[in-house]
Each structure stands twice: as structure tokens, then as C-alpha cells.
Structure 1
Amino acid sequence: MGKKYPCMEVDLNKITHNTRFIVSKCKEKGIDVFGVTKVFCANIPIVKAMIKGGIVGVADARIKNLIKMQELPIPKVLLRIPEISEAYNVIKYSDISFNSEYKTIEKLSEVAAKQGSIHKIILMVDLGDLREGIWENNIVAVTKKIMKLSNIDVIGIGTNLTCYGGIIPNDDNLGELVNIKNMLKNEVGLDFKIISGGNSSSLYKVFDGTIPKEINNLRIGEAIVLGRETAYGKHIEGCYCDAFTIKGEIVEIKQKPSVPIGTIGKDAFGNIPHFEDKGIMKRAIVALGRQDVNIDGMFPYDKNIEILGASSDHLILDVTNSYKEYNVGDVIDFNVDYGCLLRAMTSEYVNKYYK
């Protein structure tokens, strides 16, 4: 039976290669890698490809995804700050969780006691990106309170950069993380096992050799799956950028004007579209739409195809200048960025295939 479209095709060998390459470069600097699985919803074939590449733990923002991975013999890390309402499942399904709120950590300790376990946490510090994390002037007081909780083991300190505020990791903010680590050791006696210096945006400092030697952990997702660091969006030489390919089938192909005829109002998403008059063009409709993907993050492998726009279910292409003679039933291949990959892997309407 043939493939059903639209679909995402995943090259598992390329995932393993990228993982092995990045893990090796990090290991040269004494850094272990948690493989971040959230962008592909922790689909097990991809997770196994990352484990084969040498990650030391799997990290995800969703408890449902950690549950998927329970049978895999590798530590499970909850990346997103836990909800108090899900404390039971945090203890049951994660070995380590990232935390910044004392009230939540207190609840985790209470639940861990009932389950007869000690829960490991990494304290998140906000170094300016303004997503999660304890502000520096509160870190000593909060840590002292946490140390009194009988069923919590504070094994590390970490930070997140770039994801929300776009703040790039540098000598100042990563150096401050090290300073806070040393301050906590001196003032409260905690000698952390893990100093987690961020995500794929910190990799450029691994590659240029300037990452602080005290940092021994990174959480890497995008660099593995898409082969690029995220501080400057540069391709990582030695990694594949095309491990994920989204494919859609042409359902209509016709010569039509390039500008709609009539009075233009709002489209299905409340926007007023604008069109450039290019005369009559050869237009293809692919059975793929905004419900499935972020069209701004799709890039046809055929460089002579232009994406004109999309509705919920239809992707409109200009194939006039392509050297290939496309027909109804033909399949168009696209590379993807992170946002498009996230939406496509989350969509139940996009079939997933592995090779």
C-alpha cells in the first residue's frame, strides 16, 4: 500500500548522524546532552534514533510525551515548569524536572513522599530572557527553603535563553550562571551535579570553544532535527538539514490569473490579502493547508516553485517556471523550519513515515 498524503517523511539515519555529531562535539567540552523530543511529539522511532546517537536523557515539555517513552531505558526529564495539578504524574513519569516555584516543589516533595521516592530537580534561573526561572536576588533564599524538603534532591541549576526573549547566550549571562552556581555552593553548601547552560542556541559557544568549562549539560532539539544552531540560525557544518521532508499531493493544476477577480475583503483568517499581477500563471493546489503546517516555514525542494498562499486545507503554488511538468497526482516535497515541523508533527492529518 502506498503512502497517504500529506505526510512527513523522516530519515532516521540522518537524525542519528546529527545526534552523534553534536554529542561528540559537546563531549569534547565535557558536556552531556539531553535530547529534546517535543518538536516531534516524542515519536518513538525518532527518539530511538537520538538515543542511538548518544544522548544521556530524553527531555520533553509534555507529560503525555514522557509517558510514551516510559519503556525506553533512559532518564526522562520534564522541561516545562510543572503544574501543581499534575504533580502525581510528574513524580511517576519523570526522573528529573525543571522548576522555579517553591510552592510547586513543595507539592512535588509531598507527592514523592507518598510514592516513596526522592524526586530530582534542576532549579531554573532567569538570566534575562524572561521566560521561566528564579530571579538572581531570590535564588539563595528559595534554595535554602527547598533544601528543607525531605523528598527533593536538587541536582542542578540551569537557564533558558533565546526561546522567548531572543537573548543570545554569551560570556556575560553564561558566566553569571557559573557565578550563581559558585555562590550557592559557598552559601548553602550545594555542589550541583548538573550545570545546564541552555539549548541549541548555546551550541555556537561549544563550536568556537568559548563555553564556560563549568557547564556540563545542554538540552538539544532543533540542532539535532534540523541541523542548525539557533543563536544565529546557521547551518551546522557536518549535520543534515533535510532529515524531515513534508510531502503533499497535487489535486488541481490549471492556468489562472494571478490576481483574484472582484472586490477583495478578508480571507478565512481575517487578513486582507495582497496580490502581485504576474499575468496568467500555472497554479497547482496541494492538499495541505494551515491546519497542518505553518506555510511560512515551508521551502520547496524545487527552487522554481513559489508558494502563493494557503487556506485551511489548500496550498496554492506557482509552478509556471518549474522545469518539471507537474500533473494532478504528483507529489511536491518541502523542507521545513522549526515552526512548520512542530505543527506538522502535531497534526493528526499529516501521516508520518520513517526510513
Structure 2
Amino acid sequence: MGKRYPVLNIDIKKLVNNARIITEKCNENGIDTACVIKGYNGIPEVAEEMAKCGCSQVASSRIDQLKDVKLRGMAMDTLLLRIPMMSELEEVIRYADISLNSQRETLVELDRMAVENNTKHRVILMRDLGDLREGIFDRDEFIETACFIENSLKGLVLEGIGTNLSCYGSVAPTEKNLSMLVEDAEEIEKLIDRKLRYVSGGATTTLPLFYRNKLPKGINHLRLGESIICAMDLPLYWDTDIEGLEKGVFTMDAQIIEIRRKPSYPIGEKCVNAFGETPEYEDRGIRLRALLAVGNRDVGDYSSLEPIDEGVELVGASSDHLIVDIEEAGREYAIGDIMKFNMYYQAVLFASDNRLMNIELNR
């Protein structure tokens, strides 16, 4: 039997390179980092290599991925990134050293379980600064909740405070909104009469501020994933090039199943496509196109792929088919040939969690 496609290639050397460049720069400036493993489904062999590169915690939104880290004996703190569900609190106590929290009811129950298990669980209280995902929006309530954790919950330790930006509401981290978080930290520290260990200023999208020396003093923790595992968003969306970072940590190989010259504009009465959408099409005349055996089911959205081969253009996709224009490609293709793609975060996220994807680690 021949090689099975599609293939998700993981270049461990590039991953280690990216992780070291970023974590060392952060550490030199007094910033601890949590290396986020959820973007590649917490593949244990990859998580182990990432954890060796200077990060303070291994982080994921999925408790089962943190469980794998613990069971493999990695000597690292684990950080749960998603607010815990009530149904998973027992596992949170067992497998997460730290968790992000915002809901008082959850904190009370988490405290009860920590006391029952004769342990201390560390929490980072989340503040919503306008992105409108998790976190306490009202400042007074936020500070009151922090003091409640410190003074009333004996099984929990207020490890710090944090915020999330850009993931839902597309609100960029700025000097202004992150300075608000620092001010909150200073107020809480006065009230509890001690320093917080962490003021966690977000994720990869906070790095542009850091590299431009505009990150407010007092932010001392970042949760980083995409900048290490893809290294593609920062130059494309944030006008930030970090010297030495390499894309191509995760790449995909897909096999060509059809090559034909076809019109570029669909013919007939329009309806919705397989996803309930009505896309716009450009009439470019008859073009040479290739069909590949991979689709949105495998990568989330085909636009999160980037053809590596010169002159190849993405056209569209259905669940299981990817259409590319090869009219101006730099080489000729035949049925059965393999086409390679760099991958943005969404593609890595979907592909690494796809049981039909053949995963190959390259060391």
C-alpha cells in the first residue's frame, strides 16, 4: 500500500527555533510565557518539544490535552485557557495547575473541590476590556471578585489577572487597554497587600506591542501559540516581522485527483453551496484547474492554506475537494502528483484534529 494522503507535516526543528526566539526575548524582558498547544490538538510529541524551549506553562483550552501532558510526566505547570465547565472541575483540580476564571459560581465550586482534595489551585481572574468574550466587564465587580478569591476561598490562590483581546471582537491590544489591566492589578495589590504573580496581557496579538517597546510596564505574562506554530499572522495582519521566525512548521501535502480546463464562472441558475453560502465568482475565461482530495472538512476554510508551489492560486473548496488554478503554475502537474501548502492557524487547528489526516513528524 502506498503513502496515505493528505499528510500533515510537522517540522520540529522549526518549531523549536520559533519557540526559543520568542520565549528567550520575552524572558529577557521579564515576561513569562505559556506555550499554547491547543492549536495543533496537543499532539504529545510536539508539546514535549515546545515545552523545552523556555516557557513557564503548557497551556490549552482542552483539559484532556493537559491530562496527556501530566500523564507523560512533563515537569511543567499546566494552564487551562478556557473558563472551566462545572462538569470538568474534578479533572481541572487534577490536571491543571492554573486556570483562567471569571464566574463566581465556578470559583466557589472549584474552591470546594480543592479543599476536598487537600490541594491549592491557582487561578488567573479574567477581565473583559472590550473584546466581549470571557471576563468580568465591570471594573468594580472585577476588583471585588479578586478580593473575594483572596480572602474567602481557602483552596484557591489568586495567581494573577489577565485579559483576552482580538479572538472574538477583533479588538486589538493597545497601550490604552492593557494599561487599564495594569491599573487594575495595582489596585488589587493594594487591597490584598501583596504582589500578584502574573498580569497576563493576552496572546500572539500582543507581541507587536512588545516588539515595538510599547507594552505597558507591569504586563509580565503572555499566552503564545500561533506565533510559534505558524508564524504567519504577525507579518500579514500586524505588520510585525520577528527576525529568525520560520513559517512552515506545519505544512500539508494533498494529492491531485483531476486536472481539466474549465470555465472559471459557474454556469446555470445560482443557489447556495454546501455551506449555505452564495460566493461571488470572477469570470477569467477558460482556465486549467486541479482538483485535490482535501477540503474544508480537513482545514476549516480553504483560505487558511497558502500554496507553496509558484503560480498556484486557490479557487474554492467544498467539504472534501479543493480547487486550485494552475494556469500559470511554474511546473506541469499530473494525476497523483502532490501539492504542498503552508498553513495558517485555522488550517492547523482543523487538520491536527482530523483522524483522516496522516501526521508525520520531521526531526
TM-score by length of 2: 0.93
- Measured after TM superposition, the shift of residue 216 of structure 1 is 1.6
Q: Which amino acid letter does the alignment assign opposite residue 279 of structure 1?
A: G
Superposed, which structure 2 residues align to 1:310-325 within 5 Å? Answer: 310-325=317-332
Work out whether 1:183 is the aligned partner of 2:190: no
Counterpart contact for 1:246–1:335, Cα < 8 Å:
yes
Superposed, which structure 2 residues align to 1:291-302 within 5 Å? Answer: 291-293=297-299, 294-302=301-309
Counterpart contact for 1:255–1:283, Cα < 8 Å:
yes
**Segment drifting more, 258-267 vs 72-81:** 258-267
**Segment drifting more, 159-168 vs 223-232:** 223-232
- Measured after TM superposition, the shift of residue 301 of structure 1 is 0.9
Q: Which amino acid letter does the alignment assign opposite residue 156 of structure 1?
A: G
**Segment drifting more, 204-213 vs 321-330:** 204-213
Counterpart contact for 2:256–2:337, Cα < 8 Å:
yes
Superposed, which structure 2 residues align to 1:7-26 within 5 Å? Answer: 7-26=7-26
Work out whether 1:85 is the aligned partner of 2:92: no
- Measured after TM superposition, the shift of residue 233 of structure 1 is 5.7
Distance 2:223 2:320 in 1: 35
Match of 1:146 in 2: 149
Counterpart contact for 1:229–1:236, Cα < 8 Å:
no
- What is the SS of the residue equivalent to 1:69? helix
Match of 2:169 in 1: 165
**Segment drifting more, 301-310 vs 285-294:** 301-310
Q: Which amino acid letter does the alignment assign opposite residue 46 of structure 2?
A: I
Match of 2:256 in 1: 250
- Measured after TM superposition, the shift of residue 285 of structure 1 is 0.9
Match of 2:313 in 1: 306
Give per-residue Cα distances to partners, 1:78-128, cap 9 Å, x unaligned: 010111121111101100001111110110111111212111111111222
- Measured after TM superposition, the shift of residue 185 of structure 1 is 1.4
Cα–Cα, structure 1 residues 233 and 346, in superposed 2: closer, same or farther, change >3 Å? Answer: farther
- Measured after TM superposition, the shift of residue 237 of structure 1 is 2.6
- The alignment covers a number of residue pairs equal to 355
Cα–Cα, structure 1 residues 236 and 280, in superposed 2: closer, same or farther, change >3 Å? Answer: same
Counterpart contact for 1:29–1:213, Cα < 8 Å:
no
Work out whether 1:343 is the aligned partner of 2:350: yes
Distance 1:240 1:321 in 2: 27
What do you get for the CA RMSD once the two structures are aligned? 1.8
- What is the SS of the residue equivalent to 2:119? coil
Q: Which blocks of at least 5 consecutive residues in structure 1 are unaligned? A: none
Give per-residue Cα distances to partners, 1:131-158, cap 9 Å, x unaligned: 1112312123212322211111111111
Match of 1:27 in 2: 27
- Measured after TM superposition, the shift of residue 224 of structure 1 is 0.7
- What is the SS of the residue equivalent to 1:292? helix
Distance 2:169 2:283 in 1: 38
**Segment drifting more, 102-111 vs 222-231:** 222-231
Counterpart contact for 2:254–2:340, Cα < 8 Å:
yes
Distance 1:212 1:267 in 2: 47
Give per-residue Cα distances to partners, 1:155-194, cap 9 Å, x unaligned: 1111111111222222222211111111111123242111
Counterpart contact for 1:87–1:108, Cα < 8 Å:
yes
Work out whether 1:234 is the aligned partner of 2:240: yes
Give per-residue Cα distances to partners, 1:43-69, cap 9 Å, x unaligned: 112212212221121010011111121
- Measured after TM superposition, the shift of residue 281 of structure 1 is 2.3
Residue of 269, 285, 292 corresponding to 1:263 = 269
Counterpart contact for 2:233–2:344, Cα < 8 Å:
no
Give per-residue Cα distances to partners, 1:299-328, cap 9 Å, x unaligned: 111231122211111111221211211001
Work out whether 1:217 is the aligned partner of 2:207: no
Q: Which blocks of at least 5 consecutive residues in structure 2 are unaligned? A: none
Counterpart contact for 1:258–1:278, Cα < 8 Å:
yes
Counterpart contact for 2:302–2:317, Cα < 8 Å:
yes
**Segment drifting more, 39-48 vs 223-232:** 223-232
Distance 2:143 2:208 in 1: 30
Match of 1:62 in 2: 62
TM-score by length of 1: 0.95
- What is the SS of the residue equivalent to 1:154? strand
Cα–Cα, structure 1 residues 269 and 212, in superposed 2: closer, same or farther, change >3 Å? Answer: closer
Residue of 189, 193, 196 corresponding to 2:197 = 193
**Segment drifting more, 246-255 vs 140-149:** 140-149
